[in-house]
Amino acid sequence: MHSRPVIRLVACGSVDDGKSTLIGRLLVETDSVPHDTVAAARSVRRAGSLIPPGEIDYSLLTDGLEAEREQGITIDVAYRSMSLLDGRRLLIADAPGHEQYTRNMAVAASRADIAVMLVDATHPLRPQTFRHLTILKLMGVDQIIVALNKLDALNFDQAAFESVCRDTRPAVERLGIDRISYIPISALVGDNVTAKSDRTPWHTGPTLLEAIQGWHPLQSGSSRARMGVQIILRAENFRGLAGTVSDGSFAVGDEVVILPGLNRARIARLTAFDGEIAHAHAGKAVAMVLEPDVDATRGDVVERVDGCTTPADRFAAHVVWLSESELIHSRSYYLLNGSTMVPATVTAIRHRLNIRNGDHESARTLKINEIGVIEVATDARVALAPYGENRNSGNFILVDRVSLNTVGAGMVIHALRRATNITEHHYAVTKAVRAAQKHQRARLVWLTGLSGSGKSTLADALERRLYGLGLHSYVLDGDNLRLGLNKDLGFTKEDRAENVRRVAEVGRLMVDAGLVVIVALVSPFAIDRNHARELFEEGEFIEVWVKTPTEICAQRDPKGLYRKAKAGLLPNLTGVGQEYEPPANPELVLDGTEEIAVNVEKLVRALV
């Protein structure tokens, strides 16, 4: 027996456009709120409320957080349920309107079937209106209802209504929004919410409730069946892949493929909480027993063989940036889709989207709430499909690898062709063979510290010492590399991230050649150094912090950088105009004021 169909609705728009009041009225007028809750809304008042005593403050019915009631705004996404006349259940998400809570709105929109976007008739159209309209389209919301609210304050002026229709039309056409309707309402008084208003005789369309109830899903062209593996269940004579079916359905006997490994098998058994079943539909939590018992792990994806996703490791995607820290290309993040998590690097920012006119603007970074198109490379192949084909298999989030905060919401446009046109080649002469030929262990020493701390001096002395010991080594010096390989890079955060990435990749190749590599690079940000470490095998990467006080570095000032910074000519000097993040757990900390020979011996002991 299936539960009643659920329609997911997101209510959005700028702050104070009346979303909470509108939803509260919908709930009350459809008898979807307990009577004692309604009674409380008649007596409780916000500070400064103008609602007369005894009247219902509808907005209180959705603002669940104490902070929201005190401030009179919606911070979190408030969810409420109501029943429609045809038996379907409506799950309403009241999304916050403030720009700093755009992430909450984007999350709500990512699961919504239909959207009600409120526009305040007493104010000109705001940027947040266009931002929400863009996000709704990118998130694949089927239908958008634009509700022009507070028309009672304008005596239900038809010209004001038509002005909003006209002013939003270019954005609607540009975004390719096909299913959109406009309804004049008053959330406070109730006009055209659940009943027709005689004060808008010029409006011949439906009420808001009728428009919501008239929604039906578009026929999907995708036959993909998909389940993310959340856990491997093991018992005597039983090994099952457990997860929740996110799309389509599976049946006993179906031939399936495990992604990204592409191992094939047949479903021998389907087991649910209430016993064995023959079919599992979307939303059902099941355990699959496969024949043969192919290799699979958490984060893998099970799909039917017909129409399955082709795994890739390079994608173009829309992204809504949600963090106060800017998106930085060449920096590593975690990419999450369902139970799949893999390190990923933003390799390019193609453009930033102007939410007002749709222009593609050149951008080196994305700031909070900005929307852009990026290219992302994952460290392993993942089964992501175009978002336009499937919302579940085409969405992802980017997570900061240090704070573990969600920083971006992404929608895959397509896999990049180079993801499938490149094949790694393995040669008979390996890293171990090359190092053995030189009678040494290939390692990389990463010297990090402020400018003037002594990194290059130490690198030079260390290489001379290794040469004397008969070891094969090479120094990658930051300044030298900026004369050639990295001459196109500056000193912004994003350029420093790319600088570290390139140096690490070159260092990896040299370690693969069997050399001892010495890197002398400021590399001020811990996340970039950590990403560099991940390119190497356990024990190959030796992080060394050359710890020299800033005042000593400024006194030495071998390149004159501190003098330039003091004169205001060098705003991004690390330790002065730009922060330096010391290593948390380096393999070695050297006192930059110590004798060079003493520090070199410490380095040699760490290497041999």
Instruction: Tell me, yes or no, whether 331 and 473 share the same domain.
Output: no
Task: Answer yes or no: is 219 within a domain.
Answer: no
Last residue of a domain, one of 187, 213, 239: 213
| Residues 410-443 pLDDT 10s | 999 999 977 566 777 889 999 999 999 999 999 9
Q: How far apart are CA 148 and CA 184, in angstroms?
A: 5
Last residue of a domain, one of 252, 285, 304: 304
So what's the pLDDT on residue 2?
45
So what's the pLDDT on residue 459?
96
| Residues 142-175 pLDDT 10s | 899 999 999 999 999 999 999 999 999 999 999 9
Task: Answer yes or no: is 220 within a domain.
Answer: no
Instruction: Tell me, yes or no, whether 43 and 186 share the same domain.
Output: yes
Task: Answer yes or no: is 425 within a domain.
Answer: no
Task: Answer yes or no: is 590 within a domain.
Answer: yes
Distances in whole angstroms, Cα of residue 248 to Cα of each of 115, 140, 224, 240: 24, 18, 6, 20
Q: Which residue has the higher pLDDT, 281 or 422?
A: 281
Task: Answer yes or no: is 510 within a domain.
Answer: yes
Instruction: Tell me, yes or no, whether 13 and 100 share the same domain.
Output: yes
So what's the pLDDT on residue 74?
42
CATH label of the domain that carries residue 368: 2.40.30.10
Residue 90 has pLDDT above 70, yes or no: yes
Residue pair 337/311 in contact by the 8 Å Cβ criterion: no
Task: Answer yes or no: is 378 within a domain.
Answer: yes
Residue 65 has pLDDT above 60, yes or no: no
Distances in whole angstroms, Cα of residue 196 to Cα of each of 84, 201, 210, 213, 589: 17, 9, 10, 15, 75
Residue 339 has pLDDT above 70, yes or no: yes
So what's the pLDDT on residue 69?
40
Query: Would you put residue 217 in left (φ > 0), alpha (ψ -120 to 50) or beta?
Result: beta
Q: Which residues touch 601 (CB under 8 Å, ≥6 apart)?
A: none
So what's the pLDDT on residue 66?
40
Instruction: Tell me, yes or no, whether 442 and 343 share the same domain.
Output: no
Closest CA to 381 of 333, 408, 338, 344: 344
Instruction: Tell me, yes or no, whether 485 and 580 share the same domain.
Output: yes
Residue pair 227/288 in contact by the 8 Å Cβ criterion: yes
Task: Answer yes or no: is 521 within a domain.
Answer: yes
Q: How far apart are CA 69 and CA 293, in angstroms?
A: 54
Burial of 546 (C-beta count, 10 Å sphere; 0-12/13-18/19+): buried
Task: Answer yes or no: is 277 within a domain.
Answer: yes
Cis previous bond, 260, omega within 30: yes
Residue 274 has pLDDT above 50, yes or no: yes
Instruction: Tell me, yes or no, whether 449 and 554 share the same domain.
Output: yes
Residue 73 has pLDDT above 70, yes or no: no
Backbone dihedral angles phi then psi of residue 92, each to the nearest 5 degrees: -100, 130
Show the tokens assigned to 378.
């994952």
Instruction: Tell me, yes or no, whether 136 and 277 share the same domain.
Output: no
So what's the pLDDT on residue 133?
93
pLDDT band at 220 (very low <50, low <70, confident <90, very high): low
Q: What is the dihedral of CA 357, 170, 192, 109, to 10 degrees?
A: -50
| Residues 41-64 pLDDT 10s | 777 766 556 676 667 777 777 655
- Out of 107-116, 280-289, 413-422, 575-584, least confident range: 413-422
Q: Which residue has the higher pLDDT, 7 or 444?
A: 444
Q: How far apart are CA 573 and CA 523, in angstroms?
A: 12
Last residue of a domain, one of 256, 287, 304: 304
Residue 578 has pLDDT above 70, yes or no: yes
How many domains is the chain built from? 4
| Residues 291-324 pLDDT 10s | 998 888 888 999 999 888 889 999 999 999 999 8
- Out of 270-274, 303-307, 541-545, 562-566, least confident range: 562-566
Domain that holds residue 188: 6-213
| Residues 164-208 pLDDT 10s | 999 999 999 999 998 999 999 999 899 999 999 999 999 999 999
Residue 444 has pLDDT above 60, yes or no: yes
Q: Which helix (H) or strand (E) holds 410?
A: strand 406-415
Show the tokens assigned to 214.
């008239």
Q: What percent of the chain has pLDDT over 70?
A: 93
pLDDT band at 72 (very low <50, low <70, confident <90, very high): very low
Mean pLDDT of the chain: 88
Instruction: Tell me, yes or no, whether 444 and 385 share the same domain.
Output: no
pLDDT band at 280 (very low <50, low <70, confident <90, very high): very high
pLDDT band at 270 (very low <50, low <70, confident <90, very high): very high
So what's the pLDDT on residue 535?
92
SS3 217: coil
What would the mean pLDDT of 334-363 be, rounded to a whole number?
91
Residue 492 has pLDDT above 90, yes or no: no
CATH label of the domain that carries residue 467: 3.40.50.300
Instruction: Tell me, yes or no, whether 278 and 317 share the same domain.
Output: no
Helix pair 596-607, 455-468: axis angle to 10 deg: 60
Residue 344 has pLDDT above 60, yes or no: yes
Q: Which residue has the higher pLDDT, 45 or 117?
A: 117
Whether 49 is catalytic is no
What would the mean pLDDT of 326-346 be, rounded to a whole number?
89
Q: What percent of the chain has pLDDT over 90?
A: 56
Choosing from 14, 110, 451, 523, the catalytic residue is 523
- Out of 372-376, 402-406, 584-588, least confident range: 402-406
pTM of the shown model: 0.76
Instruction: Tell me, yes or no, whether 465 and 411 share the same domain.
Output: no
Residue 278 has pLDDT above 50, yes or no: yes
Instruction: Tell me, yes or no, whether 400 and 516 share the same domain.
Output: no
SS3 38: helix
Instruction: Tell me, yes or no, whether 14 and 157 share the same domain.
Output: yes
